Amino acid sequence: MTDTLTLTNTDGTKWTSGSRGKPPKWVSIHPDYIAFKGQKALEVTKDTPVEVGPVTDLRLKFWKWIGLEDFAATSKCYVAAHSRSEAIRELNKTFKAHPVTMAELEKMWTVIEPTEFMPQFVGAYELKGESWTKR
């Protein structure tokens, strides 16, 4: 495998690999350049072991507002997100005047199991009448 490649265009301009910036279009479609880039690519066959990263929980989690005291029975607001940081981001789209912090999420919101009537999409919701609507 060679470390550098020098190509010459039909108009006489030269390009050498390792030069700064994105290569010109004529370089990126040149067969020698494609072969040169192919040498650097990782070849995966059926016999090559593939490393898989840690399994993450991609399910939505639901946080219900309980306030400083537990009056969850009267709570009419919840947020659905994949992570705490995403939950804070969704809540802060609604509560722009008083942004929610991580400490506030820990104290004033509790993780709940969703009911079948709750929308299963990322966002902040409130109970209006008998249905949950996005805030």
Instruction: Band the pLDDT of 107: cuts 50, 70, 90.
Output: confident
Sheet holding 131-134, edge to edge: 109-112, 61-65, 77-81, 123-128, 131-134
* 1 located within any domain: yes
Q: Closest Cα to residue 86, out of 119, 124, 53?
A: 124
Domain count, the chain: 2
Containing structural domain, residue 74: 61-134
* 25 located within any domain: yes
DSSP 109: E
* 56 located within any domain: no
Same domain, 105 and 45: no
Please name the helix (run of DSSP H) or strand (run of DSSP E) that holds residue 86, with its range, or none.
helix 84-94
Q: What is the pLDDT of residues 12-34, one digit of tens each?
A: 888 888 878 888 888 888 888 87
Same domain, 46 and 76: no
Find the mean pLDDT for residues 87-111.
87
Q: What is the pLDDT of residues 52-98, one digit of tens each?
A: 666 566 788 898 888 766 554 456 888 999 888 899 999 898 888 88
